[in-house]
Chains A and B, each alone.
Chain A
Amino acid sequence: MASRFDNPDALSTAAGGTKGVWIPLGRWILGALFLYMGLNKALEPVEFLKLVREYGIMNAPWGLNLVAAVLPWLEAFSGLLLLLGVAVRGTALLVAGMLVPFTLVVLHRALAIHEAGTLAFCAIKFDCGCGTGEVFICRKLAENTFLALLAFTLAFVRQHRFCLWKNR
């Protein structure tokens, strides 16, 4: 039985049609966000380094320094590729691969703050290291979930429009 994975246009049609603009629009939004947030952090690596340390995921200096030095540029690079339409599916998959664990880490930290204090969960606010300053956690989790779903959609759609480098 043929599945929709055999039909290269199935997902494209489901996502708004090959002639639709929703997929490219979603790609541009995701790309612009990652480029902006990545550059924000890349231009202030010390501030991002402090934020990475606050998560307590790793203590080794070289690990912290490597993440703080490289990750923002990787985000900005991915954002630029999405904007330009180069290696879209792979980049989108990578972006999703960054968003999912990061969202889980933010959730974990928010839950720890919630359990330690008396604040309501959605009243918790801190700088999660996203490049947009302090944010309310519920809003940030919702945003990241949406962006991750968008990234996965872009990764699965086979045909992308307005690309510098067409996927074949």
Chain B
Amino acid sequence: MSDPPASGRPAPCLGNLRRVLWEAACVLVGGCMVGMLANAVSPRGLTLSRDYFPSGLSTRATAGATNRTATVRPPVSHSSTTLPFSPPSAIPALPPAPAPSVNVTTSTVPTATAVQAVVERLRQKGLQPAVHADVVRLFQDPRYAAGAVVFIDAREDRHFLEGHIPAARQFDHYRPERYLEEVLAVCPTAEAIVVYCNGGDCEDSEFAAITLVQAGVPAERLFVYAGGLEEWSKHGLTLEIGARLSGVYKEGTDPVPPPTPGVSGGQGSDKGP
């Protein structure tokens, strides 16, 4: 290191360092301003004040729901459970839940332990879990076609279009302004609303369910499919490809007939049964 100049000015290296640091600070500030502006004008921008990952339902919202789950507690296994509502006597007996496909092994279907972990996580958040047998039963319920049962896919566009539970509605809670109006239009008449995403570590269904409750959907009618679409697919069940009610299905090894299309209300292209 050279001796400082006789004039008392800082050594050249220090002056250079200060200049470089000043330059870095200017770039930092400029870049942050560009980022803030881009986020503000971009249609994909984030709302900075919004909590995209709500931790759970408030006590008041869960009071009704927890009362229901206290009396109707799904078991750990994939066996069916008592549904939270009793089908009216006029509706014929439900067909039995489909047996697992011969191609399904325990190594490909989510384990009971994994599903139970999700169930516990849902309960901790004040949400009602629904296991696979419940979900299939609700899917096969004639009231699904009538709009009394609603399935909601909590994933974003690309995943939804790649395949979803037939006639499920999309609700990407990261973009609620695009979907909330349509979803809220069908929820008041629904007796059961099943929200799902990929399953496992995917929490989007939970956040979507909490968002719906905060938007006014009764918590006691809301259920979260613990196994998610991963479990649905690995049981070889039918998926609908493309937009909702596209009529394009991907049959699994154990296809479950989709509900009569165009009946679940609200769409311009819907047609009656």
Contacts and interface: CB of A to CB of B under 8 A. Distances in A.
B27 A81 contact: yes
B16 interface: yes
Given A5-B1, A74-B35, A78-B27, A69 B48 contact: yes
Q: Which 4 A-B residue pairs are closest in the complex by CB-CB distance?
A: A90-B23, A73-B35, A70-B35, A74-B31
Task: With a 10 A CB-CB cut-off, give which of A65, A97, A158 has the most chain B CB atoms.
Answer: A65
A92 to B, nearest CB: 8
B179 to A, nearest CB: 14
Q: State which size class the interface on B falls in.
A: 35 or more
Nearest to A86: B27
A61 B52 contact: yes
Nearest to A75: B31
Contact of B36 (A61, A70, A90, A91): A70
A109 interface: no
Contact of A42 (B28, B38, B48): B38
Interface of B: 1-2, 12-13, 16, 19-28, 30-32, 34-36, 38-39, 42, 44-53, 156, 174-175
Interface of A: 1-3, 5-6, 42-46, 49, 53, 61-62, 64-66, 68-74, 77-78, 81, 87, 89-91, 93-94, 97, 155, 158
Nearest to A44: B44
Nearest to B38: A73
A46 B46 contact: yes
B41 to A, nearest CB: 11
Contact of B46 (A53, A69, A155): A69
Given A5-B1, A89-B20, A93-B24, A65 B46 contact: yes
Main secondary structure of the interface of B (DSSP, over half): helix
A71 B12 CA distance: 33
Given A6-B2, A65-B46, A73 B31 contact: yes
27 contacts: A5-B1, A45-B42, A46-B52, A46-B156, A49-B46, A61-B53, A64-B52, A64-B53, A65-B49, A65-B52, A66-B48, A69-B36, A69-B46, A70-B39, A71-B35, A72-B35, A74-B28, A74-B31, A74-B32, A74-B35, A78-B31, A87-B27, A89-B19, A90-B20, A94-B28, A155-B20, A158-B16
Given A46-B52, A61-B51, 14 more contacts: A5-B1, A5-B2, A5-B12, A6-B2, A45-B45, A61-B50, A61-B53, A62-B48, A65-B50, A74-B32, A77-B35, A87-B23, A94-B27, A94-B31
A12 B27 CA distance: 23
Contacts of A74: 28, 31-32, 34-35
A129 to B, nearest CB: 15
B28 A69 contact: no
